[in-house]
């Protein structure tokens, strides 16, 4: 499972960085989205991978070993929400630039 | 009043949030009402910030509790988010409030009418800035960074237009990628230390097992790259000049503090995590800050000399200011950092005033005044013909005020006596050349020599660039009656510059405050103890 997650993060990051460096705004926005997926998985991985363990602790004295770390999951949730909002905002600006310049090149003009 | 005293520290976040949210629902037909509410709220923020600074300055560096803490939701400290109001944080909040106030007053003259959401966005930006300065939690810092960035995206586009939209696109793309780096860094640090509370991380950093140390340092480095991009260190700062030049004047003026958020985070976290107590990792990344900062100063100075428009010149001066601060932090001397804090305030105020001035001046002056003389000759400018014609043109009052303000601005930014820019540079260079204090025999490191000379050379470059612009603008013959400049547009500029003069006059107590702040930064044990031992509300102190 570690291997699959690591490969997944790696592939997403590679694609994200590649697309981010492309000259079309649409490619940039897809690249940023892929990058943020990779980052979300990475944060999740930083809480250590556990199978069949609940993140919510019942009251009383508990053995922390039988629970998974809830903090990274909360962080991922926040990061997803913020990333989603930012992507939407970027999309609006992208459309505005397209309207202003008539091209989807990131510099606003074909070279 | 005891209640309000206790909750003082959260007001800089709640006040702009409530105002910004409320103003969204006020229709733009009631614009004077909107401006009034906005003004009153910012005034209150200013008062709160002044009270915070006053309170932070009261507690001595030796006796008892150093820092005001505020556990949000009354959660015990390493688990919940905590707000921390020490000297540095309070000072930055005050600077934010001052810039916010001046920007607001300037914008009320005309800019706020361009789009309906200006006031809300400005208040959300202030909220993000204050939150980033006050929070004691790494992930919460990320959230406040995103709040201020989201507001800044909106503000950068304020006024619309093709140039702004294009600059905005680059700015947003760079910052979104940087936010990813921030998250990766924060996650790595959480993964190795198991906590997100800054003080708790600092306390646990020595216990990190040797096998994880590489991971921790990688996390810190990635986090550092994110902050360095925000503070526009060379070669990560190419986004800055374009974005700042495209922004409308009041927006650029408040953006002057945005690079300082990155500098603040670096200053706080590098000294907290990798101070002398950090064991093996002590001093991690310091050399990068030093050389990166020096590179930024050099790049900023050259870029100031080559700038073709006054807005780009101001952007280059932001780079110089950023680089100076980063290099001063990288040198790792308590006295230098104290001077650097003084420089931070002085240069931010002056650059903010400069951005406002640029707009006013551009309304008045003739075409092509900001183009380099070489370029002007290339386009066949015949100076001799013009010079004879308009002798006896009375310099209009507005022009005189603008000219004097510009001169003061130039003095502060280039670091000439007698204003605060000179004192700031003096306060940095003196401990650089006397790292052990004035009384003892000092060995000055080559880096300190390099940095000191770079500081002076960059000041000279700024002086040349500013004088050139000033001569072309203010000593040029005016072809038509000067455009109207309203009083409330002049007042913020004059206020900002007057604060620089006040800083020069009251240099003693202010530098004392800065030195105490630097001393507190260099003794992180006090901060860590105060934050980790933060009392919860309603708990009875042990007898």
B382-436 pLDDT, tens digit each: 444 444 444 444 456 777 788 888 899 999 988 888 888 899 998 888 888 887 7
| Residues B89/B521, Cβ–Cβ less than 8 Å | no
Query: For residue B354, what are the contacts with CB-CB under 8 A and spacing of at least 6?
Result: B314, B317, B409, B413
| Confidence at residue B378, expressed as pLDDT on a 0 to 100 scale | 54
Q: Each residue of B297-308: b (16+ CB within 10 Å) or e?
A: bbbbbebbbebe
Query: For residue B100, what are the contacts with CB-CB under 8 A and spacing of at least 6?
Result: B42, B45, B122, B125, B126, B254
Confidence of residue A38 (pLDDT cuts 50, 70, 90): very high
| Chain A contact for B170 (CB, 8 A cutoff) | yes
Cα–Cα dist B312/B47, whole Å: 34
> Which of A71-75, B303-307, B473-477 is predicted least confidently?
B473-477
Query: May I ask the CATH architecture of the domain A2-50+69-101?
Result: Orthogonal Bundle (1.10)
| Confidence at residue A33, expressed as pLDDT on a 0 to 100 scale | 93
Q: How far is A101 from chain B (nearest CA, A)?
A: 7
Q: Answer with the residue of higher pLDDT: A60 or B402.
A: B402
- pLDDT tens per residue, range B190-228: 989 888 889 888 888 888 888 888 888 899 999 999 999
DSSP string, B413-425: HHT-TTSHHHHHH
- pLDDT tens per residue, range B250-282: 888 899 899 999 999 999 998 888 877 777 777
Total number of domains in chain B: 1
Cα–Cα dist B473/B454, whole Å: 28
Mean pLDDT of B82-98: 90
Please determine, for residue B52, whether its predicted confidence score (pLDDT) is greater than 50: yes
Domain that holds residue B482: 2-379+395-532
Please determine, for residue A66, whether its predicted confidence score (pLDDT) is greater than 60: yes
Mean pLDDT of B31-40: 88
Contact A96 B157 (CB under 8 A): yes
**Coil/strand/helix, residue B70:** strand
Q: Phi and psi at residue B140, in whole multiples of 5°?
A: -65, -35
Contact A36 B180 (CB under 8 A): yes
Domain boundaries, chain A: 2-50+69-101
Q: Phi and psi at residue B231, in whole multiples of 5°?
A: -90, 10
| Confidence at residue A12, expressed as pLDDT on a 0 to 100 scale | 95
| Residues B329/B425, Cβ–Cβ less than 8 Å | no
Question: Which secondary structure element, helix H or strand E, spans residue A15, and what is its range?
Answer: helix A2-20
Q: Which two tokens stand for residue B196?
A: 């997100």
Query: For residue B36, what are the contacts with CB-CB under 8 A and spacing of at least 6?
Result: none
Cα–Cα dist B221/B181, whole Å: 10
| Chain B contact for A98 (CB, 8 A cutoff) | no
Please determine, for residue B51, whether its predicted confidence score (pLDDT) is greater than 70: yes
- pLDDT tens per residue, range B91-102: 999 999 999 999
Cα–Cα dist B188/B135, whole Å: 20
Contact B183 A35 (CB under 8 A): no
- The single-letter DSSP state of residue B84 is E
> Does residue B60 lie within any of the structural domains?
yes
| Residues B421/B317, Cβ–Cβ less than 8 Å | no
Please determine, for residue B480, whether its predicted confidence score (pLDDT) is greater than 70: no
- pLDDT tens per residue, range B125-136: 999 999 999 998
- Residue B8 CB burial class (10 angstroms; 0-12, 13-18, ≥19): middle
Helix (DSSP H) and strand (DSSP E) numbers for chain A: 3, 0
Mean pLDDT of A36-60: 84
Q: Answer with the residue of higher pLDDT: A56 or B345.
A: B345
Q: Phi and psi at residue B332, in whole multiples of 5°?
A: 70, 45
| Confidence at residue B371, expressed as pLDDT on a 0 to 100 scale | 52
Confidence of residue B542 (pLDDT cuts 50, 70, 90): very low
As a whole number, the mean pLDDT across chain B is 83
Q: Which two tokens stand for residue B286?
A: 């310091």
* Of residues A36, A48, A93, nearest to B165 (C-beta): A93
């Amino acid at each position: 499972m570690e291997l699959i997650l690591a490969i997944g993060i790696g592939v997403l990051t590679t694609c994200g960085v590649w697309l981010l460096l492309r000259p079309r705004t649409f490619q940039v926005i897809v690249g940023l989205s892929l990058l943020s997926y990779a980052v979300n998985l990475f944060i999740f991985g930083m809480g250590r991978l556990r199978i069949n363990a609940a993140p919510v602790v019942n009251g009383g004295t508990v053995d922390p070993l039988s629970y998974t770390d809830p903090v990274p999951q909360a962080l991922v949730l926040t990061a997803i929400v913020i990333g989603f909002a930012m992507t939407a905002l970027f999309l609006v600006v992208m459309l505005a630039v397209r309207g202003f310049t008539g091209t989807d090149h990131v510099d606003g003009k074909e070279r | 009043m005891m209640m309000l005293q206790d909750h003082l520290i959260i007001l800089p976040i709640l006040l702009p949030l409530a105002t910004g949210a409320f103003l969204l629902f006020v229709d733009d037909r009631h614009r004077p009402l909107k401006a009034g509410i906005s003004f009153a709220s910012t005034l209150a923020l200013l008062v709160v910030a002044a009270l915070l600074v006053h309170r932070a300055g009261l507690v001595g560096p030796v006796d008892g509790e150093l820092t005001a803490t505020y556990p949000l939701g009354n959660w015990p400290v390493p688990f919940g988010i905590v707000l921390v109001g020490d000297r540095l944080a309070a000072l930055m909040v005050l600077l934010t409030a001052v810039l916010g106030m001046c920007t607001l007053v300037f914008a009320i003259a005309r800019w706020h009418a361009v789009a309906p959401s200006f006031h809300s966005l400005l208040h959300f930006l202030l909220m993000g800035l204050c939150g980033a300065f006050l929070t004691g939690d790494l992930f919460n810092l990320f959230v406040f960074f995103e709040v201020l960035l989201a507001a800044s995206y909106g503000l950068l586009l304020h006024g619309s237009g093709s140039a702004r939209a294009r600059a905005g696109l680059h700015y947003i793309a760079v910052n979104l990628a940087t936010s990813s780096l921030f998250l990766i860094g924060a996650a790595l640090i959480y993964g190795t230390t198991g906590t997100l509370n800054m003080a708790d991380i600092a306390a646990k950093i020595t216990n990190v097992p040797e096998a994880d140390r590489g991971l921790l340092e990688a996390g810190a480095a990635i986090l550092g790259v994110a902050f360095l991009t925000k503070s526009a260190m060379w070669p990560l700062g190419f986004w800055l000049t374009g974005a700042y030049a495209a922004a409308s004047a009041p927006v650029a003026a408040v953006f002057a503090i945005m690079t300082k958020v990155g500098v603040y985070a670096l200053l706080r976290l590098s000294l907290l995590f990798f101070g002398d107590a950090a064991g093996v990792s002590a001093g991690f990344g310091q050399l990068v800050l030093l050389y990166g900062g020096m590179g930024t100063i050099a790049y900023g100075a050259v870029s100031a000399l080559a700038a073709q428009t006054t807005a780009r010149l101001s952007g280059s001066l932001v780079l110089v200011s950023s680089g100076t601060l980063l290099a001063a932090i990288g040198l790792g001397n308590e006295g230098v950092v104290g001077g650097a804090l003084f420089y931070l305030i002085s240069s931010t105020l002056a650059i903010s005033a400069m951005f406002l001035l640029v707009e006013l001046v551009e309304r008045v002056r003739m075409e092509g005044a900001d183009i380099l003389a070489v370029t002007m000759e290339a386009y066949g400018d015949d100076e001799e013909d013009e010079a004879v014609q308009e002798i006896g043109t009375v310099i209009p009052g507005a022009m005189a005020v603008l000219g004097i303000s510009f001169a003061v601005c130039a003095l502060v930014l280039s670091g000439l006596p007698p204003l605060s820019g000179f004192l700031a540079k003096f306060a940095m260079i003196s401990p650089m050349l006397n790292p052990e204090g004035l009384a003892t025999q000092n060995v000055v490191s080559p880096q300190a020599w390099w940095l000191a000379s770079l500081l002076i050379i960059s000041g000279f470059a700024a002086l040349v660039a500013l004088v050139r612009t000033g001569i072309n603008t203010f000593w040029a013959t005016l072809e038509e009656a000067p455009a109207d400049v309203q009083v409330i547009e002049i007042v913020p500029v004059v206020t900002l510059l007057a604060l620089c003069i006040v800083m020069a006059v009251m240099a003693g107590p202010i530098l004392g405050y800065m030195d105490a702040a630097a001393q507190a930064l260099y003794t992180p044990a006090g901060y860590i103890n105060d934050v980790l031992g933060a009392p919860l509300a309603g708990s009875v102190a042990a007898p």
